[in-house]
């Protein structure tokens, strides 16, 4: 089987400043090929399948409902599956089987990675709860710790009576959706199942979106980060509200949650003690940690709307950092996509970091070897 | 050049009840291939290009954002253009050169029908009017102004604001004619007056849960640039819809549900009943002598039932009559036949389900005329 280093699908690109080598997926079946959101690992544990988001905007455009593509490192080929539009649920990849799950309208679908595999409807959000068409049923789907369910954080805004939000889980065996809590009138999203407890999820309150018509300078403290235990009511994760924050993710141990306190640091909060630890001071945007919590990767941008492609790696043991890529925003008239952030993430059991790069004046998926980054930050 | 009758891309299907022969587009690069909304002809006048709405739902599913494909009768091939995802009901074909216009988010795009043609950004709805909101669509059904310098604007933002106007094709700023909290949809430019649009106020769509079809209301309005909309009918009537301009620009056709297909003179407001019955969508040829319509007991789970009527003789003939697709079959939402005359009335184009899937079909008008003498 090929690897990103040996596959004909990838081309090496070296950062001239830092010497860090990335492997860019230069075989292209779509004009936009983007890595997944940083909370969703895209590479299977065996390294055979790399899933990605593919968009087909018109040349020079940026809007397209994306579909899924896959790089198959056994066959050394890349395929696109047009039946996988995922407007209401960003995908989740089963890291063992390579199956991918996604949301469309009220339905969750899955399909296998092979060309001959067929899409299967896994389950549906109940029509009796749905008020019109959903904005989404899952911001980004995640598996429960027992692998029996997917998290649901459904939002309906065109209800005629304000927005409605449902947090719950959708069993993979097709049995009925289980509602954990309904919250009306506020914008919640980014639900994520705990990696160790199938009865726990966290989610975010988008305070700034609920107050979009008011001045918001980011200094107002509020509780963005919430968690909920099945059968209970959601409660804030942090002991005290903080100024604008976001881009949270679960630590692999399930006992801590990481988040970005904008302009301050990447922090880690212990769920039992609520104690917070500063892990990477600075003005960072998205972060992600390896399973040991010793290595971090983050992207950095002055303007999230017209974002740089700037990704750095930090070795927490040595405190050293190395730049993976640093490029100004794509020119406006180049073909691109909405939400063009690098979203770096550790994947394939931390062997690689996957991110979205623009170094070829387009939107590409890239991988970089973690061991090289560790070596450069000793 | 091939025709639907001689192209390898089509297969004949004969209605056993009526003997009417349809030509079904059985070349299938996509699992769902359907006709445009009935107000938007999809063939060029010379018969070389026919555009098709294609979508790729998962097998057994029905939800997918569609893209456009073109049937090229010169090359006898069908090509999918994946960069043409469109929002709203229907794109717009220039019948002279085969270019197609579509909207996506705030943008209006066009591209030519040849394989090497590239999309061109025609215009963009202004961000200051969108105010950060994502539109449901900026146009529901695109139509050209009579002077061919604009297309209509019919933007919908959530359930709060509807903006009507025009979008100049030369890229100059979008012009707003009116904005309201009423559900103004399916606007269409007059075919003869560039300052006039038919505006449809979708009363039932705004209050679907409480709507009583016996309630009398004004759905159709004439909107003249710079003026307030005025009701088209002399008196409000019970539930109605699916209106379209007569080619003379002096009449508007509409379906008075459960009553008839009617035509109203926009000057005198005189109404004529042209086809009594329970019809859903209809369309007239340019002479107004021939009509085609679909009918369905349940619009949410529709039959594929299309009939042609010769207005002069009063005779009708069935083109197709198939029950709803089984729920487990791959399909699309809004699966209505939407028959329309196209290529200068040479064919009626419609969406068919006779092969247990969603297909596009054509039927020669002259055969229908002959059978209804």
What pLDDT is stored for residue B224 in this prediction? Answer: 98
Long-range Cβ contacts of B259-268 (<8 Å, 24+ apart): B261/B291, B261/B293, B263/B288, B264/B220, B264/B232, B264/B233, B266/B222, B266/B232
pLDDT of residue B204: 74
Q: Kindly provide the b/e burial profile for residues B331-342, where b requires at least 16 CB atoms within 10 angstroms of the residue's own CB.
A: bbeebbbbbbbb
Q: Do A65 and B119 touch (CB under 8 A)?
A: no
Q: Quick count: other Cβ atoms within 10 Å of Cβ B11? A: 15
Whole-number pLDDT of residue B234? 97
Q: Which candidate in B28, B69, B79, B83 is best for mutational testing of the A interface (most A CBs within 10 A)? A: B83
Is pLDDT above 80 for B206?
Answer: no
**B160 pLDDT tier (thresholds 50, 70, 90):** confident
Give the separation between CA A290 and CA B142, rounded to whole angstroms.
51
Find, in chain B, the residue whose alpha carbon is nearest to that of A104. B63
Average of per-residue pLDDT across A212-228: 88
Residue A119 has pLDDT above 80, yes or no: yes
A-chain CB neighbours of B64 within 8 Å are 83, 85, 104
Quote the pLDDT of residue A195: 98
Provide the mean pLDDT of chain B.
95
Q: What is the pLDDT of residue B25?
A: 98
Q: Which residues pair with B77 in a beta bridge?
A: B72
B214 three-state secondary structure: coil
- The average confidence (pLDDT) of chain A is 96
Q: Please indicate if any CB of chain B lies within 8 Å of the CB of A89.
A: no
pTM: 0.94
Q: What is the pLDDT of residue B184?
A: 87
pLDDT band at B89; cut points 50, 70, 90: confident
CB–CB contact A60 B121 (8 Å): yes
Q: Is A59 on the interface with B (CB under 8 A)?
A: yes
From chain B, pick out residues whose CB is under 8 angstroms from the CB of A30: 82
What pLDDT, on the 0 to 100 scale, is given for residue A48? 98
Q: Tell if the CB–CB gap between B118 and A212 is shorter than 8 Å.
A: no
Rounded to an integer, what distance in angstroms lies between the CA atom of residue A320 and that of residue A314? 6
| Alpha carbons A313 and A298: distance in angstroms, whole number | 7
Search chain B and give the residue with CA nearest A102. Answer: B58
In this prediction, residue B282 has a pLDDT band, given cuts at 50, 70 and 90, of: very high
Digit-coded pLDDT (tens) for A16-39: 999 999 999 999 999 999 999 999
- The alpha carbon of A147 is separated from its chain's Cα centroid by a whole number of angstroms, namely 18
The CA distance from A377 to B46, in Å, is: 68
* Residue with tokens 């003179």, as numbered in its chain: B265
Lowest mean pLDDT among A96-105, A210-219, A295-304, B196-205: A210-219
Q: What is the pLDDT of residue A181?
A: 98
B158 confidence band (pLDDT: 50, 70, 90): confident
Q: What is the pLDDT of residues B294-311, one digit of tens each?
A: 999 999 999 999 999 999
Nearest to A105 by CA among B324, B332, B107, B158: B332
> How far is it, in rounded angstroms, from Cα B174 to Cα B153?
8
Chain B: residue nearest A84 by CA?
B58
- Separation in Å, CA of A60 to nearest CA in chain B: 8
Which residue is listed with tokens 């004619």?
A: B177
Q: Chain B contact for A54, CB < 8 A?
A: no
Within 8 A of B207 by CB-CB distance, chain A residues are: none
Question: Cα distance from B310 to chain A (closest Cα, Å)?
Answer: 41
> In 3-state terms, what secondary structure has residue A162?
coil
| B32 neighbors B94 (Cβ within 8 angstroms) | no
B171, B189 contact by CB (below 8 A)? no
| Shortest CA gap B256–chain A (Å) | 27
pLDDT band with cut points at 50, 70 and 90 for residue A136: very high
What is the helix (H) or strand (E) element at residue B205, kind and residue range? Answer: helix B203-206
To which residue do tokens 């049995």 refer? A175
- CA B167 from centroid of its chain's CA atoms: 19
Q: Which pLDDT score, from 0 to 100, does residue A17 have?
A: 97
Q: How far apart are CA A239 and CA A223, in angstroms?
A: 9
Q: Is the ipTM of this complex over 0.85?
A: yes
Contact B316, B18 (CB under 8 A): no
Q: Do A149 and A170 form a contact (C-beta atoms < 8 A)? A: yes
Q: Answer positive or negative: Cα dihedral of B217, B222, B224, B225.
A: positive
Q: H or E element: which one contains A370? A: helix A370-376
Residue B112 near chain A (CB below 8 Å): no
Task: Name which of A55-64, A214-223, B5-14 the model is least confident about.
Answer: A214-223
pLDDT value of residue B200: 94
Q: Measured between alpha carbons, how far is B286 from B294 in angstroms, rounded to an integer? A: 19
Burial of B187 (0-12, 13-18, 19+ CB in 10 A): buried
Non-local (6+) Cβ contacts of A287 within 8 A are: A38, A247, A249, A258, A260, A266, A280, A296, A297, A298
Q: What is the per-residue pLDDT for B88? A: 74
Other beta carbons within 10 Å of B172: 11
CB atoms within 10 A of CB A51: 26
pLDDT in tens, B315-329: 999 999 999 999 999
CB B307 within 8 A of CB B319: yes
Chain B environment of A60 (Cβ under 8 Å):
119, 121
Q: What is the DSSP letter of B237?
A: B
Looking at residue A131, its pLDDT comes to 82
Q: What percent of chain B has pLDDT over 90?
A: 91
- Mind listing the pLDDT tens digit for each residue in A147-202? 999 999 999 987 777 889 999 999 999 999 999 999 998 889 999 999 999 999 99
Range from A154-168, A232-246, B330-344 carrying the lowest mean pLDDT: A154-168
pLDDT at B219: 95
């Amino acid at each position: 089987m090929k690897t990103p280093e040996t596959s004909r699908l990838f081309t090496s690109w070296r950062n001239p400043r830092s010497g860090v080598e990335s492997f860019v997926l230069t075989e292209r079946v779509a004009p936009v090929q983007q890595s997944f959101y940083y909370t969703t690992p895209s590479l299977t544990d065996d390294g055979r399948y790399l899933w990605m988001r593919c968009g087909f905007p018109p040349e020079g455009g940026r809007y397209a409902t994306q579909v899924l593509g896959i790089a198959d490192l056994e066959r050394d080929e890349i395929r696109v599956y047009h039946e996988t539009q995922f407007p209401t649920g960003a995908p989740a990849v089963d890291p063992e089987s390579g199956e991918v799950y996604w949301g469309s309208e009220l339905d969750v679908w899955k399909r296998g990675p092979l060309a001959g595999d067929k899409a299967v409807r896994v389950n549906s959000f109940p029509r009796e709860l749905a008020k019109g068409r959903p904005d989404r049923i899952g911001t980004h789907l995640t598996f429960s710790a027992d692998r029996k369910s997917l998290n649901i954080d459904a939002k309906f805004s065109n209800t005629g009576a304000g927005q409605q939000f449902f947090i719950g889980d959708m069993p993979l065996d097709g049995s009925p959706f289980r509602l954990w809590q309904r919250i009306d009138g506020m914008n919640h999203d980014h639900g994520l199942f705990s990696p160790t407890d199938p009865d726990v999820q966290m989610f975010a309150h988008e305070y700034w979106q609920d107050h979009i018509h008011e001045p918001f300078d980011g200094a107002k403290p509020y509780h963005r980060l919430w968690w909920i235990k099945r059968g209970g009511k959601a409660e804030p994760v942090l002991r005290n509200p903080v100024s604008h924050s976001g881009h949270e993710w679960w630590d692999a141990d399930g006992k801590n949650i990481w988040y970005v306190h904008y302009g301050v640091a990447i922090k880690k909060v212990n769920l039992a003690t609520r104690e917070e630890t500063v892990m990477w001071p600075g003005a960072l945007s998205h972060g992600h940690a390896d399973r040991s919590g010793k290595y971090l990767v983050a992207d950095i941008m002055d303007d999230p709307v017209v974002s740089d492609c700037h990704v750095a790696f930090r070795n927490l043991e040595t405190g050293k950092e190395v730049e993976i890529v640093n490029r100004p925003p794509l020119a406006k008239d180049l073909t691109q996509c909405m939400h063009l952030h690098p979203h770096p993430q550790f994947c394939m059991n931390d062997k690689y970091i996957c991110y979205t790069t623009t170094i070829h004046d387009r939107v590409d998926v890239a991988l970089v070897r973690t061991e090289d980054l560790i070596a450069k930050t000793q | 050049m091939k025709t639907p009758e001689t192209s390898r891309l089509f297969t004949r299907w004969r209605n056993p009840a009526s003997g009417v022969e349809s030509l079904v587009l059985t070349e299938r690069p996509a699992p769902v291939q359907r006709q445009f909304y009935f107000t938007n002809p999809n063939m060029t006048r010379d018969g070389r290009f026919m555009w098709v709405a294609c979508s790729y739902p998962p097998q057994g599913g029905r939800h997918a954002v569609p893209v456009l494909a073109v049937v090229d009768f010169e090359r006898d091939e069908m090509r999918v253009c994946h960069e043409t995802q469109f929002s709203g009901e229907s794109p717009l074909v220039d019948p002279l050169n085969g270019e197609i216009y579509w909207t996506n988010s705030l943008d209006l795009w066009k591209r030519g029908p040849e394989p090497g043609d590239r999309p061109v950004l025609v215009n963009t709805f202004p961000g200051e009017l969108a105010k950060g909101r994502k539109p449901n669509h900026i146009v529901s059904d695109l139509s050209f102004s009579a002077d061919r310098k604009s297309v209509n604007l019919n933007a919908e933002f959530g359930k709060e604001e509807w903006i009507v106007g025009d979008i100049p094709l030369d890229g100059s700023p979008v012009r707003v004619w009116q904005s309201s909290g009423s559900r103004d949809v399916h606007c269409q430019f007059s075919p003869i007056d560039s300052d006039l649009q038919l505006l449809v106020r979708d009363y039932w769509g705004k209050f679907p849960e409480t709507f009583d079809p016996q309630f009398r209301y004004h759905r159709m309005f004439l909107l003249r640039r710079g003026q307030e909309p005025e009701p088209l009918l002399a008196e409000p009537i019970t539930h109605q819809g699916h209106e379209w301009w007569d080619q003379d620009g002096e009449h508007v056709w509409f379906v008075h549900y459960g009553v008839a297909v009617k035509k109203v003179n926009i000057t005198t407001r005189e109404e004529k009943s042209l086809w009594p019955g329970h019809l859903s969508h209809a369309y007239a040829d340019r002479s107004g002598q021939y009509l085609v319509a679909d009918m369905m007991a349940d619009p949410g789970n529709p039959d594929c039932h299309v009939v042609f009527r010769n207005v002069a003789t009063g005779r009708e003939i069935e083109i197709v009559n198939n029950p709803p697709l089984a729920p487990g079959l791959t399909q699309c939402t809004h699966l209505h036949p939407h028959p329309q005359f196209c290529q200068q009335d040479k064919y009626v184009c419609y969406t068919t389900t006779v092969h247990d899937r969603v297909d596009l079909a054509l039927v020669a008008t002259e055969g229908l005329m002959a059978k209804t003498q």
